[in-house]
Amino acid sequence: MSGGSAAARQRRLTIIVAALVVVAVALVMVTGPLKPGGGSSTSSSPAVAIPAGTDSASKPAAATPAAPKPATGDYRGPVPILMYHVIKAPTASTPMAELWTPAETFKATIELLKKQGYSGVTLDQVWRAWSGGPGLPEKPLVISFDDGFLSHAVTARPILQAAGWPGVLNFKVGNIGKGGLTTAQVEGLIAAGWEIDSHTLNHPDLTASDDASLKTELVDSRKLLQEKFNVPANFFCYPAGKNDARVRAAVEAAGYKGATTVEPGVASKSDNPYELPRIRVNGSDSAATVAARVRSGNAVSGGY
């Protein structure tokens, strides 16, 4: 073997080794450093840039409406409680049309009351203020809705939310999903700061109910609200306002802190907590009419 041919073979071997090193470095740059067992620290597939807006993950999440701010202030006096039912214009054939308030009228009423300095609060906030807890704004007002109609979630909620106010739903629990409110809609009201209270399971005349039925309507409705929606349901609303001493005693025994009626007036700390008056709103009432009744406490009797 000559020295020249040996030197040539050495040069070729050097070139081959250098080429292999280059290939190995290139592989590491593409796939990442090799791990024991042959795996790579990154995916072998190069990342693909996705233009903004072409994938749901790249879209901004829809803003969750904020719940009303907690009521604050030093006021602990009387508080008007408005009573609404359906927030929708009735048709010519609608029974009990006075219980239907057109959305435009409701919106105008809330806007006028807010302009006049009123602040929406819940019954629980009122109760805490009357019991030595945090106080209320100077002109507090409770907006209550009876039964649990679809319009409470679809129409009333966004109008109140625009004002930064909560509502109080006196929920006939049997209305869940049966042409009334779905579970998700009730949860949406709670997320918007609404208070959910009991209006029984089936809206019976409690004064005509036997003791067992009375207890079921009061206790089971509250328990269902507590377990299904994780709310305290501390207040009760008498169906059609019908109550007597026996019914009021049963409401107290069921653990409620108070109850609302359909008797006109402005609720006060000095009232029997199980006979709190409200101001009924009829569908024909203008915004100015409702505002005048809030100031005076004078209103029509009756409810459903």
pLDDT tens-digit map of 281-298: 999 999 999 999 999 988
Beta carbons within 8 Å of 216's beta carbon, 6+ residues apart: 201
> What whole-number distance in Å separates Cα of residue 112 and Cα of residue 164?
14
| 156 confidence band (pLDDT: 50, 70, 90) | very high
As a whole number, the mean pLDDT across the chain is 84
pLDDT higher than 80, residue 53: no
Greater confidence (13 vs 86) lies with 86
Please say whether the beta carbons of 46 and 52 come within 8 A: no
**pLDDT computed for residue 36 by the predictor:** 37
**pLDDT computed for residue 299 by the predictor:** 73
Each domain of the chain, given as residue ranges in start order, spans 3-44, 81-296
Would you state the structure tokens that stand for residue 98, as one six-digit string?
């006075």
Contacts within 8 Å (CB) and 24+ apart, 184-192: 185/150, 185/153, 186/148, 186/153, 186/229, 187/229, 188/153, 188/157, 189/152, 189/153, 189/157, 190/229, 190/231, 191/64, 191/65, 191/67, 192/65, 192/67, 192/68, 192/157, 192/160, 192/161, 192/166
In this predicted model, what pLDDT tens digit does every residue of 215-256 receive, in sequence order?
999 999 999 999 999 999 999 999 999 999 999 999 999 999
> What whole-number distance in Å separates Cα of residue 150 and Cα of residue 272?
32
In this predicted model, what pLDDT tens digit does every residue of 178-194 receive, in sequence order?
778 999 999 999 999 99
Sign of torsion, CA 108 113 114 115? positive
Would you state the structure tokens that stand for residue 109, as one six-digit string?
């009423």
Domain 81-296 carries which CATH code? 3.20.20.370
Would you state the structure tokens that stand for residue 265, as one six-digit string?
């007036």
Would you state the structure tokens that stand for residue 186, as one six-digit string?
């009730």
Would you state the structure tokens that stand for residue 224, as one six-digit string?
């269902």
> What whole-number distance in Å separates Cα of residue 97 and Cα of residue 218?
28
DSSP string across 211-234: HHHHHIIIIIHHHHHHHHH-----
**Nearest-10 crossing angle of helices 183-191, 221-229:** 70
Give mean pLDDT, residues 127-142: 97
User: What is residue 129's three-state secondary structure?
Assistant: helix
> What whole-number distance in Å separates Cα of residue 56 and Cα of residue 107?
35
**pLDDT computed for residue 298 by the predictor:** 82
> What whole-number distance in Å separates Cα of residue 133 and Cα of residue 194?
19
